Amino acid sequence: MSNKKKTPDSTPADKAAPVAAPAATPAAPAAAKNPLDDQLKGLQVKQAEIALQKARRAEIHEVQMNAADLRRLQAVAATAELDLAKKRRDAARELAAADEALNYTFYDGVSDESIKPALAELGKWSRRCPGQPITITLNSGGGSVIAGLALFDYILKLRADGHHVTVICLGMAASMGGILLQAGDKRIVGRYAQVLIHEVSAGTSGNIQKMDDALTFSKSLWNQLSEILAERSTMTVAQVRKAALRKDWWLTSQETVDLGFADEVLSAPFTPKVQKGGKKPASKAKGKAKSKKAE
């Protein structure tokens, strides 16, 4: 056996012992997907979609409601406008009515039957509209003296009660109609109206005394009528009686005014006067044109 001692292997000083690399940290295992989370997210999305749909439906409903309200308001406004127009028409119709304008039309003969509605209507107007102006449009061929005097006196009563009465004759105021024309505060005749004045006419029968009494009564009536005619005219009572003696005395509108049986001729559009021979006078424009040419 050898006594040599084995020296242990020595590591060179300049060689460092190899350092062992640290062991790599193993990666964390991936978390497993939870199906409940997916369902929750899906549910949230669905809820959001439902909320959006509700919001849109609410918006559409609001728009529809606003449109319906607008249509309703438009319908209410249209109805109110129609109602206002109707009320205006009704008011205009009422204002245009004779009983609102206080314009009574007497187109009739003078009799008990014709003056009754006149007295009733004029009386109603007087009570309803005290002191307001009243117009009577007259076209009458005359008739009963007694009935006519009743209406004549009633018109005088209206004037005494404060009504200004205008009588307008259109067409004709004959006999008792001419007397009624005198009842107004203002007496107007149409341009082409005619006025007739004549003596009282009447029939009688019986014995001589009765006929004489009737004649006396008729003469008395004529005296009253001639006084009414002369009161506001340019003629005396005697002149009126003479002019109407045993004849029908017809007067044109201008003659009626000239003699004082009316106050004025109803104003009307201008009518060209016709010269003798049927020729119309040349217009001023033509006359001016001719004068310029002459210059």
Q: In this predicted structure, which of 129-143, 178-192, 276-290 has the lowest mean pLDDT? A: 276-290
Sequence-ordered list of residues with C-beta below 8 angstroms from that of 196, at least 6 positions apart, any chain: 142, 172, 173, 174, 175, 177, 178, 248, 249, 250, 251
How sure is the predictor about 224, in pLDDT bands with cuts at 50, 70 and 90? very high
Please give the pLDDT value at position 68. 81
Task: Provide, rounded to the nearest whole percent, the portion of the chain with pLDDT above 90.
Answer: 51
pLDDT tens sequence across 108-125? 999 999 999 999 999 999
CA nearest 203: which of 191, 217, 189, 192? Answer: 217
Please give the pLDDT value at position 233. 97
Q: Mean pLDDT over all residues of the chain?
A: 83
Q: Which residues are catalytic?
A: 175, 198
Q: Specify the higher pLDDT residue, 165 or 207.
A: 165
CA nearest 125: which of 156, 98, 150, 90? Answer: 98
CA nearest 156: which of 255, 231, 219? Answer: 231
Q: In this predicted structure, which of 137-146, 263-272, 283-292 has the lowest mean pLDDT? A: 283-292
CA nearest 114: which of 134, 136, 143? Answer: 143
Q: Specify the higher pLDDT residue, 216 or 28.
A: 216
Please give the pLDDT value at position 252. 98
Q: Give the CA distances from residue 266 to residues 96, 178, 184, 269, in Å, rounded to whole numbers and listed in that order.
A: 21, 16, 15, 10
**Residues facing residue 143 across a β-bridge:** 110
pLDDT tens sequence across 240-276? 999 999 999 999 999 999 999 999 999 877 665 655 5
Q: In the Cβ-directed half-sphere of 19, how many Cα atoms lie within 13 Å? A: 3
What interhelical angle do 112-128 and 145-160 show, nearest 10? 10
How sure is the predictor about 285, in pLDDT bands with cuts at 50, 70 and 90? very low
Q: In this predicted structure, which of 143-152, 177-186, 193-202, 209-218 has the lowest mean pLDDT? A: 209-218
Please give the pLDDT value at position 9. 52
pTM: 0.63
Q: In this predicted structure, which of 32-46, 75-89, 181-195 has the lowest mean pLDDT? A: 32-46
Q: Which helix (H) or strand (E) covers residue 181, if one does? A: helix 176-181
Task: Provide, rounded to the nearest whole percent, the portion of the chain with pLDDT above 70.
Answer: 76
pLDDT tens sequence across 19-73? 555 555 555 555 556 677 777 777 888 888 888 888 888 888 888 878 888 788 8
Above 70 in pLDDT, residue 290?
A: no
Q: Which helix (H) or strand (E) covers residue 119, if one does? A: helix 112-128
What interhelical angle do 145-160 and 208-231 show, nearest 10? 30
pLDDT (mean) for 4-25:
52
**Residues facing residue 104 across a β-bridge:** 136
Distance CA 141, CA 269 (A): 27
* Cα 181–Cα 182–Cα 185 angle in degrees, nearest 5: 100
